[in-house]
Amino acid sequence: MRNLIALFACSCVVLSASANDPAPAAAARLAASVSKPASASLPSKEQMAKDAAKEPVPGKKEAPAKKAAPADEDKEQEAEVALSAKIAERLAELRERQQARASAAARARKAADAKRLQEEKAAAAAAILAAAPKHGTVWSYEGETGPANWSKINVDWAKCGTGNRQSPIDLRDGIKVNLEQIGFDYHPSSFNEVNNGHTIQVTVGGGNFITVGNQTYELQQFHFHRPSEERINGKGTEMVMHLVHKSYDGKIAIVAVLLERGQPHSLMQTVWDNLPLEKNEVVSPSIVIDPKDALPEKREYFTYMGSMTEPPCTEGVLWLVFKQPRQASPAQMALFSRLYPLNARPVQSTAGRMIKESN
Ligand SMILES: [Zn+2]
């Protein structure tokens, strides 16, 4: 019996030596708890001597006289068996716990190693990116390549982030003055169109001019945004059309025509009827369009100095925004929204710029 207890205590010590845990205490407690009742029930030395004398000889029938203490002996054996079982059970429990702790620790170490490796890789990649000059060309209206990050994609697009004369803006608190009418000299023209991945863009043949003050600009192309990029007193419309013009010395003037739901828009329909099947495929229909069909009846407008509303966000652009919207049918609007549900830059800070409007 004592041998069993000693064996158990030793096993506990061995088991817990590497685990660095409270097992020794548990082992000591258990050893104490099992040794007390055991020693209390253990026979004295004299009794053990007597018992030894009474040991039955194998193959020999026990004498009736020697059967004096079979009950005690059985009890002792039973207790011993029970104690062995208890010890074995406890040892198994301790081993199991130790294994669980060891594998948990191994898992934690593995996870920490993997995390450290990942962090090192990310830091190395970030360092390479930070060191290299950025000349990205991919931009969009949402997510990683969206308007908030345009300036970080390409070093030449810095103005998108740092410029203080950016477009679009919310047109409000304009100075009401007697603005000179914009002179339109538009004619039926040949055209080609492309779905360039950002909008549907129509390039118009030469010979279409506007005059603002004493400056003349030639129409280059027009395109669409959904929703409208510009707002008037905080309110936008479902779409907008931008007609982009250039002067002989490279100055840009953009006429904006807001679009709201209503009657069909004949010019828009011609453009939609000739949509290319593939992105970046340029189609040149054999018909003509008249850019005059893009203009509203009333010609009052807002004007301010701003920028291109897409990278590289070049400033020095003269904006001319008509107050009266043109209409387009819900079906025409729906067609564009299937291609471009959102292709509008958010409004930018006015930053104290002067806005003039026709009174
Ligand atoms: Zn535009």
pLDDT value for 61:
47
Which residue would you say has higher pLDDT here, 46 or 227? 227
Report the candidate in 156, 161, 163, 160 with the shortest Cα–Cα distance to residue 134.
156
Query: In this model, does residue 19 exceed pLDDT 70?
Result: no
pLDDT value for 81:
87
Tell me the CA–centroid distance for residue 153 and ligand 1, in Å. Answer: 20
Q: Which domains does the chain have, with CATH numbers?
A: 2-129 (no CATH), 164-358 (3.10.200.10)
CB 38 within 8 A of CB 19: no
Tell me the CA–centroid distance for residue 204 and ligand 1, in Å. Answer: 15
Q: Provide the pLDDT confidence category of residue 12 given band limits of 50, 70 and 90.
A: very low
Report the candidate in 137, 198, 167 with the shortest Cα–Cα distance to residue 342.
198
Tell me the CA–centroid distance for residue 311 and ligand 1, in Å. Answer: 11
Q: Provide the pLDDT confidence category of residue 72 given band limits of 50, 70 and 90.
A: confident
Residues with CB under 5 A from ligand 1 (ion): 242
Tell me the CA–centroid distance for residue 112 and ligand 1, in Å. Answer: 50
pLDDT tens sequence across 282-330: 999 999 999 999 999 999 999 999 999 999 999 999 999 999 999 999 9
Mean pLDDT (the chain, rounded)? 86
CB 265 within 8 A of CB 327: yes
Residues 229-238: what's their mean pLDDT?
97
Block residue for tokens 């953009």:
254
Q: Provide the pLDDT confidence category of residue 334 given band limits of 50, 70 and 90.
A: very high
Tell me the CA–centroid distance for residue 308 and ligand 1, in Å. Answer: 7
Tell me the CA–centroid distance for residue 255 and ligand 1, in Å. Answer: 10
Tell me the CA–centroid distance for residue 300 and ligand 1, in Å. Answer: 20
Residues 177-183: what's their mean pLDDT?
97
Residues 131-151: what's their mean pLDDT?
92
pLDDT value for 37:
45
The DSSP code for 173 is S
Tell me the CA–centroid distance for residue 198 and ligand 1, in Å. Answer: 10
Report the candidate in 159, 156, 175 with the shortest Cα–Cα distance to residue 167.
159
Query: In this model, does residue 18 exceed pLDDT 90?
Result: no
pLDDT value for 47:
53
Q: Provide the pLDDT confidence category of residue 124 given band limits of 50, 70 and 90.
A: confident
Query: In this model, does residue 35 exceed pLDDT 60?
Result: no
pLDDT value for 175:
97
Report the candidate in 251, 346, 243 with the shortest Cα–Cα distance to residue 301.
243
Tell me the CA–centroid distance for residue 182 and ligand 1, in Å. Answer: 19
pLDDT value for 42:
47
Query: In this model, does residue 238 exceed pLDDT 50?
Result: yes
pLDDT value for 70:
66
Tell me the CA–centroid distance for residue 133 and ligand 1, in Å. Answer: 28
Tell me the CA–centroid distance for residue 303 and ligand 1, in Å. Answer: 16
Highest mean predicted confidence (pLDDT) among 93-97, 119-123, 128-132, 328-332? 328-332
Residues 150-166: what's their mean pLDDT?
96
357's enclosing H/E stretch is strand 356-358
Tell me the CA–centroid distance for residue 225 and ligand 1, in Å. Answer: 6
Tell me the CA–centroid distance for residue 285 and ligand 1, in Å. Answer: 23
Tell me the CA–centroid distance for residue 243 and ligand 1, in Å. Answer: 8
Tell me the CA–centroid distance for residue 173 and ligand 1, in Å. Answer: 23
Q: Cα separations (Å) of 283 from 18, 192, 194, 207, 287?
A: 78, 5, 7, 20, 12
Start-end of H helices in the chain? 2-17, 23-41, 45-54, 70-131, 150-153, 159-162, 266-273, 330-339
Query: In this model, does residue 38 exceed pLDDT 50?
Result: no
Buried b (16+ CB within 10 A) or exposed e, 135-165: eeeebebeeebebebbbebbeebebbeebeb
Tell me the CA–centroid distance for residue 223 and ligand 1, in Å. Answer: 6
Which residue would you say has higher pLDDT here, 214 or 53? 214
